Amino acid sequence: MADGNNRRRPESFSIDSSYRNAMAKQIGKEHEMKGLVLAIGTVVAALTLTYGLGAASASSSSGTRTKVGVASSQLGRILVDGHGHTLYLFLKDKNGKSACSGACAAYWPALIASGKPHAFAGAKASLLGTIRRADGRRQVTYRHHPLYRFSGDTTKGLTSGQGLDDFGAKWWVVSPAGQKIVSASSNPGY
């Protein structure tokens, strides 16, 4: 029974104390979970930033122009970047605009230029250009086709993306004339 100071009985205090202890434990667990979620989010953000910067530096090095050239392969003469990696066009691209972003761009990185692209070894400078991607970067085009590399082509000379039907359309190697090459190869390399 309470007196004039509104004090509770001791047993009421022990019930409140147990409830408070249980609530404190629950809050502590929630706090730990929030910390874990925050830590995981931080790691994911760091990895995403690292991947994005790595892809950007692989696409175009500062101080050097992005290059497009020609190399011989089992598919004939094809376009390659300045490192000899095969370049592809995506049939889903329309009116000179890229239809590849998000997961598509992770598998098929756009050939990015920080300035005017440079033609070498048989590529035609008059067919080179750039478009502005949704992320603001400039993607190299050849005869108005946005150009891509394939993540499966880990070394120069590979054409393992040839004819794949990914992200809603086919991917084809590009000829020096800016046309898709549709012949298949049993061996995915030069």
Q: Residue 183 CA to chain centroid, in angstroms?
A: 28
Q: What confidence score (pLDDT) does residue 55 get?
A: 47
pLDDT, mean of residues 47-54: 50
Owner of token pair 């250009």: 129
Q: What confidence score (pLDDT) does residue 64 get?
A: 72
pLDDT, mean of residues 105-124: 96
Extended strands (E) in the chain: 67-73, 76-81, 88-90, 112-113, 118-119, 128-132, 138-142, 145-146, 165-166, 169-174, 180-181
Q: pLDDT at residue 38 above 70?
A: no
- For the record, the structure tokens of 114 come out as 């920080």
125 burial level (CB within 10 Å; 0-12, 13-18, 19+)? exposed
pLDDT, mean of residues 24-29: 70
- DSSP annotation of 186: S
Q: pLDDT at residue 63 above 90?
A: no
Q: pLDDT at residue 120 above 60?
A: yes
Q: pLDDT at residue 103 above 70?
A: yes
Q: Cβ distance 90 to 148 under 8 Å?
A: yes
Q: What confidence score (pLDDT) does residue 21 get?
A: 72
Per-domain residue ranges of the chain? 1-59, 65-181
User: Pick from 172, 105, 108: which is nearest to 143 by CA?
Assistant: 172
Query: Residue 18: in which H helix or E strand, if any?
Result: helix 10-59
What is the overall mean pLDDT for the chain?
82
